[in-house]
Every structure is written in C-alpha cells, then in structure tokens.
Amino acid sequence: MIVAKRVSFDAAHFLPGYDGPCKNVHGHHWVVELGIEGLVKPDGMVIDFTHLSSFLKNNVHGVFDHGLINDIIPNPTAENIAMFIRERCGWVEVAGCRLVFIRVWETENSYVLLEG
C-alpha cells in the first residue's frame, strides 16, 4: 500500500547560468509530496502519518520556507530539489518501507516526479 503526505512552503530561487526569466530571483509557493510503500502492519497502518509529517516539517518546510533555495542547493531546479529531498529519505527503509515517489510542484500546474 502507498501512503503519501504533502507539505507546502514559500521560497525564492534563481537558476544561475540559465538564459530565461528564471535567471532572476523570484518566488514560488512550492508543494512537496512524499509517497512511501509498505505492508500494512498489525496496527492497521503502513506508517503513522505523523512520522511523514515530522519528516516533511524538519527536512523540507524547516529547510526551505521563506528562504533563498540557492543558499542550500546551488542550482535549485525542481528536479534538484527532489533529489535533495531523496538524499534525506534513508529512514524510510529503516521504517520497513520503500520510497515510491517525491513530487515537487513549482507552480500549481507544473511539477517533477522522482520515482524510487
């Protein structure tokens, strides 16, 4: 079964070396969704949603909200943000689950999907 949780944050970024409008500092209301897969345990859950909430609060919202993402990721494309978050997901396997996807919305109509 797949369990997913979302978090949102507001942050600015720019794309260095990019020849287009995103070369200038600008902001977005980002949304990140994390999906993990596992077996339903005897307590009826794959994992408690509060564990996903805590991870997203500490490793996404707490890291990026109201900041300049370039201070953390030198080339902060949505793709690179997804990979940054995946690097912090080692706990998923420890919890007996598997990372299925990370979805990063840059706008309400545009997202990247990192699977596995």
Question: What is the distance in angstroms between the CA of the first residue and the CA of the last residue of the chain?
Answer: 15
Q: Using the Cα atoms of residue 53, residue 59, residue 62 and residue 68 in order, give the sign of their dihedral.
A: negative
Is 106 among the residues known to form the active site?
yes
Residues 47 and 36 sit within 8 Å (Cβ to Cβ): yes
For residue 94, the surrounding DSSP H or E stretch is helix 91-94
Residue of 37, 51, 89, 106 marked catalytic: 106
Order of strands, sheet of 98-107, starting from the edge strand that comes earlier in the sequence: 2-13, 26-37, 98-107, 110-115
Q: Which of 22, 28, 51, 89 is catalytic?
A: 22
Active site includes 97? no
Catalytic residue among 26, 66, 79, 115: 66
66 is catalytic: yes
Residues designated catalytic: 22, 66, 106
